[in-house]
Structure 1
């Protein structure tokens, strides 16, 4: 299957929740996380063990072209916090821009270089986005690159 959805990598999510991965998802240090752009040629495997940038299937299908460097660009977390809406949590990032690019991408892989390039989240753009000697910019939703509702089961 090609790219069809956003998703957390199950192994990363479960290991972080069980404190088996030591990382603060709200750490605002620029570059703690990176974002790599991918074309529709990648076939995501969200249930793989130890998912990582540049490890199959993420070792193929990365965007290439003028203005883009393999591995992507540093991301800056602006929050991993409760949102204004009741019972919602969001993982928020600052806008990221690749300048003077001629590229095409269908999604963004968010990964952590200091954890052996461990992948956490993939965002699907719902189709190819292209530039021709222009800026490729991702301005994340105010609620974040990822958000979820936490509910009291009672």
Structure 2
């Protein structure tokens, strides 16, 4: 057992590079542009341990923490320059296209909850009021909350 503990203690250089690779791998599968900066910090600490092999583990962790915070802060600021604003704010939110659309209820909304037809799909809908809205009533989608459409009754245009 002492042999294993000694061997692991002697591998501190490679542990930092392994951590960097694991973080890069996680970044590949969850592209958030967040894990790449701690990965760079882990690799930098690995290089520091390569240059200064007698560096205490406390100093290594401190260096990783400080480098991680600094690189993440600067990296996020740097990445903001490449973020593009879109003239289509609902581009990746296809359900948001229903806001403002009207439909006629095929079935009542019991106590303000039920399903409505939008296009060829049934969607969960809520009114925010605990009243039953009868079938045949025209409703308008006012907002979207996840996959639930928030609707309101459209007043009759005849009076």
Structures share fold, TM-score greater than 0.5: no
TM-score by length of 2: 0.21
TM-score by length of 1: 0.22
Point out the structure with the larger helix share. 2
Q: Please tell me whether Structure 1 or Structure 2 has the larger radius of gyration of its CA atoms.
A: 2
Structure with the bigger percentage of strand: 1
